[in-house]
A and B are shown apart, each in its own frame.
Chain A
Amino acid sequence: MLPASCSHRLLTELQGALGACQRKEKELEQSIARCRVLLQPWEVPHPPSPEPARSPETEPAHEPAPKDVKELELLTQALEKALRVRKGISPAQSEQSASSGKTAPPLVTAQTDLGARPRTSNPKACVPAKPPTTSQRASSRLKKPARASCHREKASRNALTHSKQSDNSAPIKGPDQLCPLPSQGQVPGLPTSTSVSVLREAGATGPSHGPEEEKTQTGLTSETFTLKEKGTQLQLPPFYKKIASRNSRLWAQVQHSQSSADTDVAAAKARFLERMKVTFDLPGPAVSLAEIQEEVNRLDQACHLLTQHLEETLDMNGEAATASLSWEQEYHRLVTLEGLQTAVEQHLLRLQELQEAEEQWLGPRPVESSPWGSALCLGGEGSSGSTGHLVYSSVQELQTVMALKLQVAMLKQQIHLEKVLMEELLPLVKSESPAGPAQLALYRAIHSQLCEAGECFSILQPPSVQEACSQQLRPLAVLSRSP
């Protein structure tokens, strides 16, 4: 067991870090949920058509135009013909090719199944093919997340046709089939979207007749509003546009007024501030607590930047031998390092001053903490209202920049925790030397955490065990790495 103060500090730090991560995760989840809501088909306010056994998750069906129904029929017949001409195979053979796991065959089966819809001649051929095709489609969905919505539409069409032919098996099989998917966590977003579509498919089943199925299908394809297909036709409402344009115009004026500052006013304000300061008659150090906090943050940032500069200077002529450096480079390096040194000394002096001032403010440090655990941030720099534009040109760029931001923050967290662990755990290791098994376990844990970021473990064999297992040493060496 670790000593109490050590445990306390480690737990505080770790809980703080975990809390920060959880907060960020929640923010991201909320944002993702909002985006998903927008990307799903929108509810277009049409009068709902008579629909049997529709689950509440599905959007209300739409009144299809007879023209669209006819067009779809013609289209599917044409596709049928094309496929027959191209492949010259029966539907059973096309299902065999579907099990090869490519995207094209599942699409082919989709088409053939659509084609098979008006014909009820071979329901049996379609039913056994359903499990492999849905799983193929599901795996292809995992592989190509970008086309998730497109596949979802095809999948829904497929499910509806299957449901028509095999009444009871589809609602049971559908969810079961796709249930294992959520456990595959590589693409965390998709399993939930597939489960939504599964619910839709499941909900859409039920005994229903051909023409009605067709109607709902055409309803799905022709009247639903998806952002993907018709997003560019969106128009912001005119009253909103007016208000928003006025808003941006006013902000531009505000910015303009800030840049062209009135010197009279600035002088008057400065004079007022000075006069007020003269009347301050309470005792205390010249620098206020808020200013102390701000300066400490600034020094922290300075330390970070100086460290970065140092790393870059030392690494600049990294593996190259010193002799190969030119005179200028050597001298440049020397002067830079000395300059950094003076800067650090200045910062440390300033920090000392700030610490003294803070002690004056807070008095001798009391032992017990205040009832409010968290600190109230003494408002720092106000953010400017004028928002510039961060322009990106591809999704990879956006992902890279966000990932880098997160990576930098995580590294900072990791470094901080490593320092805390070093401070708390290394003294434990140095102080006690008896090699009892519990102590050895502690050493092993500390070593793995501090040196391997907890990913690899070493093996410590206590002396008492050695005599018994001296012959087994070699196999142990093989096992030296445990994940």
Chain B
Amino acid sequence: MGRQDRRQDRRQDRRQREELGPRALPKAISALSRALGGGPSPETFRQAKFDLPEAVSELWSLLFSLLWLIHQEGVVTPREPPDALEGQIRFVKWALRCHGYGRRHFYQFPEVGSCELLLAFSWLLVYFNLPERFLCLNCVHQGDNVRICSCKELARYPVPLTLGPKRSVDIHYIQWLLGRLRFQWRSLYASQQEQCTLLNKIHLYTRGCHPERSIGHLSVPETELLRFPESSKQLLQQLESENSCLEAFLEWKHMELAYWQWMDTVLDASPVGVPNTGKQDVFLPEILEYRSPKYITGEMDRVRKNLEALRQRLQEAVNQQRAAWHAKVSSCSQRLTRLPELSSAMMKEIQETVGCELVALEQDCGVKSWSHGLQRLVFREAEESGSSGTYPVTKVIQVLRREEASLKKTFRRLQEECKQELAILAHGLEGVIWILPPYLRR
């Protein structure tokens, strides 16, 4: 069944690509609109090309809905979207400014032409890879999904302080808060263990029920579907609308070229470099409106301090290692006339291997080998060789253990540093007896 479908799709591919006639553009635009969950009609787009004012409000709301959705991803404290058109316009301008959109005419106040909006929309399509991203953001989760990477696990976010900013507190209050935090960690651990047990039970008990053999058991949302049939309607509706979006997206993919060719003509037609008429002011959105400067620069400071501390450590380590190396070389050369192990070819080889390792590290920083996305949890008892798209948990455990070990070492090192600093202080205190607690090797 699957193979036949694929053949049919490929045939459709070829057919549709040849079809790029004059009728292709409205079809492409309508497919795009449907793929974005119901946007403006092709007529609106045509009006926008000719800078007609009727298209303005629709395009603004389209821009707003897309940008708001994109920025909700990963936001820690979800906020209410602004209702009024003015608030929405301000948000759109701010977001585009932050992403470096620099067409002066777009930021005109009070009115922006619809052609400008159309250009901004097309720029968004390319910059954010929009139709795909929209689908991914809105996709319905039918399985028990977990993230492999732990970077968003306990993501810090700035909380508005309840007390006035200038009040000072006692150290014991800080200690109490830290104690609460430790307690929280323990209860988090316990809750998570329990969640795993319960999930595993549900997976065990529903073995053999899933239509897909590769999955084999039901997930929590699917079991809830059976338990509460009344609430399944919502899920079904969502799935159906997602299906129609996906179909529209596949149509769009075939006819995309026509759209970009048309956009070229729009860009040609739009007036470039027309001087501002006096009554229109360019009103640049205040970057600081939505973002506390302390947060951005705080992050940067933190990263810089970490890098500088790392640099210092590396300096010491390199010096130490170089001294050891020279000592070894010199001691060896005193005893023997030739150095057997030190052929230049071997040195080159070692340099190359290290170079490759470090390059791999750099690549890891950009794109992690594990995807940042959500993975569906699948319970499979037998040890099977993993097909593509399946991550065995054992590999993840290995990587995480390495990370854990390294983090523990870092933490202990920080504690040692503190002990040394405070020991210096303790010697400075006159007449005070300081009895340290017995250090247990944990």
Contact = CB atoms under 8 A, between A and B. Distances in A.
Interface string A365-392: 1100110111111111111111111111
Interface string B394-416: 10110011111111111100110
Interface residues of A, number: 218
Contact of A308 (B135, B205, B226, B406): B406
A419 B414 contact: yes
Contact of B98 (A189, A244, A289, A389): A289
Interface in A264-312: 264-265, 268-269, 271-273, 275-276, 279-282, 284, 287-293, 296, 298-303, 305-312
Interface string B136-178: 1101111101101011011111111101011111111011011
B375 A372 contact: no
Contact of A409 (B100, B154, B289): B154
Nearest to A345: B311
Contacts of A390: 146, 148, 375-378, 390-391, 393, 396
Contacts of A100: none
B214 interface: yes
A195 to B, nearest CB: 16
B306 A404 contact: no
A241 B431 contact: no
Contacts of A354: 300
Q: Which of A25, A251, A288, A402 has the most CB of B within 10 A?
A: A402
Contacts of A425: 171
Contacts of A183: none
B140 to A, nearest CB: 8
A445 B176 CA distance: 11
A183 B379 CA distance: 34
Interface in B62-98: 70-71, 73-77, 95, 97-98
A300 B324 contact: no
Given A415-B407, A418-B415, A251 B246 contact: yes
Contacts of B308: 348
A450 interface: yes
Interface stretch (A12-20, A71-79, A124-132, A211-219): A12-20
Interface string A161-191: 0000000000000000000000000011100
B292 A372 contact: yes
Contact of B199 (A18, A244, A398): A398
Interface in B351-373: 351, 353-355, 357-358, 361-362, 364-366, 371-373
B154 A24 contact: yes
B434 A393 contact: no
Nearest to A228: B205
Interface string B239-279: 11011001101100100110011011001000011000000
Contact of B198 (A35, A299, A411): A35
Given A227-B202, A244-B239, A268 B260 contact: yes
Contact of B325 (A235, A330, A347): A330
A22 to B, nearest CB: 7
Interface string B179-201: 11110110111111111111111
Contact of A382 (B133, B223, B405): B133
A471 interface: no
Contacts of B224: 34, 38
B209 A275 contact: no
A303 B306 contact: yes
B437 A290 contact: no
A344 B182 CA distance: 33
Interface in A301-359: 301-303, 305-312, 314-315, 322, 326-328, 330-341, 343-345, 347-348, 351, 354-355, 358
A243 interface: yes
Interface string B210-229: 11101100101011111101
B393 A401 contact: yes
B288 interface: yes
B410 A253 contact: no
A435 B429 contact: yes
Interface in A442-483: 442-443, 445-454, 456-463, 466, 473, 476-477, 480-482
Given A21-B185, A339-B354, A463-B432, A328 B422 contact: no
B223 A38 contact: yes
A92 interface: no
Contacts of B157: 16, 19-20, 374-375
A82 interface: no
A411 B414 CA distance: 12
14 contacts: A18-B180, A28-B192, A32-B191, A272-B126, A276-B123, A280-B103, A296-B303, A305-B365, A341-B318, A373-B160, A384-B373, A404-B400, A406-B188, A452-B415
Given A21-B154, A227-B205, A382-B128, 13 more contacts: A188-B190, A247-B140, A288-B98, A310-B314, A358-B297, A372-B292, A390-B378, A393-B381, A398-B377, A411-B404, A415-B410, A463-B432, A473-B433
